[in-house]
Structure formats: C-alpha cells, structure tokens
Amino acid sequence: MKVLANDGISQSGIDALEKDGFEVITTTVAQEQLINYINENQIVVLLVRSATTVRKDLIDACPSLKIIGRGGVGMDNIDVEYAREKGLKVINTPAASSHSVAELVFGHLYGLSRFLHSSNREMPLEGDKNFKGLKKAYAKGTELKGKTLGVLGFGRIGQATAKVALGAGMKVVAFDPFLEKANLELEFFDGQTVNFDIETISKEDVLKQADFLTLHVPAQDGYVIGEAELNSMKDGAILVNAARGGVVDELALVKALESGKISRAALDVFEKEPQPEMGLLMNPSLSLTPHTGAATNEAQDRIGTELAQQIASILL
C-alpha cells in the first residue's frame, strides 16, 4: 500500500511505515496535479501538513484513498466531516508538537521582554555607530518571573505552555470553555515531579490579569481577540498568537500597538498565509516567525512515528 507524504514526513516516520510494509512517497505534488497523481499511483494514505489542502473535490475524485493524515494539530485545511461521511479515516497528531509550540511561545516572550526582536534588527545597522544609544533604548526590559501569564485555550498546547511558565516562576491564569480544572505535572531532569492544579476562570478575568497573553485556540468564526478584548487588557501587556491565523484581529492589534495599549506582540500565524500583510512584517513592535511552532526535529519525529502507528492500526 502506498503512502504519499505530500508535505514531507520525518525519517522516523518513513522507517516505521516501511517496516510495516508500506511504500512511502515523499514527492511534493502540486495542488492542481494532486488528484491525478493519487489516482495514477493508487495512493491509499495521503499525509499533509499545512501547505496541502484536501477538499471535497479531491475526496470525491480519489476512490483509492482510505486515510487522510495531518501532521500536526489543526485540520482546517481538510474537509474533515465530509471525508468521514465518505468513509475515510481522518487522523492527526494533537500531542506530538505541544512542547515545541510552548517553547516557541517562550522564545518570543523572552525576546520581546528584552527587546531582542528589535535589537537583532538594529545592532547590525547601528551597533558600531550608536552602541550607547541602543543600550539606552533597550534598557527597560522586563523579567517574566513573578508575572502573570494568561492562557486562552487550555488544551494540550495551552497546558504545555503553562508548564513552561510555571517552571519560569510565573503565575498562570487560564480560560477554556470546555474545562474547569487541570492538573499539570512538571517533570524534571532527575525524575522529580511537581504537580499544580489550575482552575480556569472567565475570559474577561484572564484578559484583565495577564501581563502576558498567549492564545491556543482552534480556528473559528470571528475573532477571539478583537478591539474590545485588547482594550480590556492591562496597559503595556504583551500578546503572542501561535495558534491559528484569524483568531486575532490584526488591524486592531496594530492600532493597539501604535497607541501603546499593547506594548509588543508576537505572531507565528497570520490571517493571510503565506503572504502576511506588509504592515505586520514591517512593524517594529512585532516579533514574527513563519508558522514554525511545530518545526523542531523532536516534534517532527514524534509526528512521523505517531502517524505511522495510527496508519498501521487502521490498515493492518
């Protein structure tokens, strides 16, 4: 049976699939040629990340398909319910990338709190001529320890991010409409563990209390953070969106940054991917990454292995 990993798969995933007798194809087929390729090669499993879309036309036109797999969490690039109605299995890997996303959030938070996003731009341009001026410009950094991290969406990734925050000495407040309480276990290098019980509170209270805010919610109709929510946050708060493009009103965010209501922000996802608005790309108050939350070797190994295990359990 043939597996097409159209957006790639880790070597660990390839090895696991081949060990179970699957033929793994890692050719990247253009979206407009995908239906013909699947049919000509009798592809049984189609694996994608975020680049390839799997819509109704492809599902209807490719009778050989039995499984559609998403390497990662969000499946808004797949017509999931329609595929399942047609008898296909649709799988993803919700737990595999949680810690990688959490670490990226904190990469942004530490960078923003000490102006690294700006310093890394300006030092190559002015470091030899304006060293003292830049030192003064970046002299008012903020420590994360002792501050409050607000988490909107307290599923696997939200909880993984909260664990990093707790390890950094932060207070965590969280909102999730489907969860009242979570027990978080922090594991340390020597085998010791520490447990924390986090009781969720209202979204409004999270926004009011958070010095730093991180979003971990699925794609949905309407903004989770718009002008009203930004206005209800603490003056000078810092925001990170490493969830999905479209959950933050980017125009409202830019206005809040310009007014100083939000001091700085980070975006790993955008309303218009893969061509974000130029106003975001050039904004000096933003720290930006190109949707790389799960882009670590460790996460990709876990994703590949988990996909292989699910495929084998369905087809073998």
Same fold, 2-93+297-315 and 98-288: yes
- The superfamily CATH assigns to domain 2-93+297-315 is NAD(P)-binding Rossmann-like Domain (3.40.50.720)
- Pick the catalytic residue: 103, 122, 271, 273? 273
Query: 156 an active-site residue?
Result: no
Where do we find the tokens 């670590």?
A: 296
Query: 70 an active-site residue?
Result: no
Q: How far apart are CA 58 and CA 37, in angstroms?
A: 11
Residue 40's contacts (CB-CB under 8 Å, 6 or more residues apart) are none
CA angle 5, 11, 17 (to 5 degrees): 65
Instruction: Give the burial string for 248-266 (b: 16+ CB within 10 Å, else e).
Output: bbbebbbebbeeebbbbbb
Query: 291 an active-site residue?
Result: yes
Q: Give bridge partners of residue 67 from the DSSP assignment.
A: 45, 89
Q: Which CATH architecture has domain 98-288?
A: 3-Layer(aba) Sandwich (3.40)
Q: Name which of 300, 305, 267 is nearest 104 in CA terms.
A: 267
Burial class (CB within 10 angstroms; exposed 0-12, middle 13-18, buried 19+) of 15: middle
How many Cα neighbours within 13 Å face the side chain of 235?
A: 2
Q: How far apart are CA 312 and CA 22, in angstroms?
A: 9
Burial class (CB within 10 angstroms; exposed 0-12, middle 13-18, buried 19+) of 297: exposed
- Pick the catalytic residue: 216, 244, 264, 302? 244
* Sequence ranges of the domains in the chain: 2-93+297-315, 98-288
The conformation of residue 94, written as its DSSP 8-state character, comes to: T
- Pick the catalytic residue: 70, 108, 291, 302? 291
* End-to-end Cα spacing for the chain: 10
pLDDT by residue for the chain (316 residues), tens only, comes to: 999 999 999 999 999 999 999 999 999 999 999 999 999 999 999 999 989 999 999 999 999 999 999 998 889 899 999 999 999 999 999 889 999 999 999 999 999 999 999 999 999 999 999 999 999 999 999 999 999 999 999 999 999 999 999 999 999 999 999 999 999 999 999 999 999 999 999 999 999 999 999 999 998 899 999 999 999 999 999 999 999 999 999 999 999 999 999 999 999 999 999 999 999 999 999 999 999 999 999 999 999 999 999 999 999 9
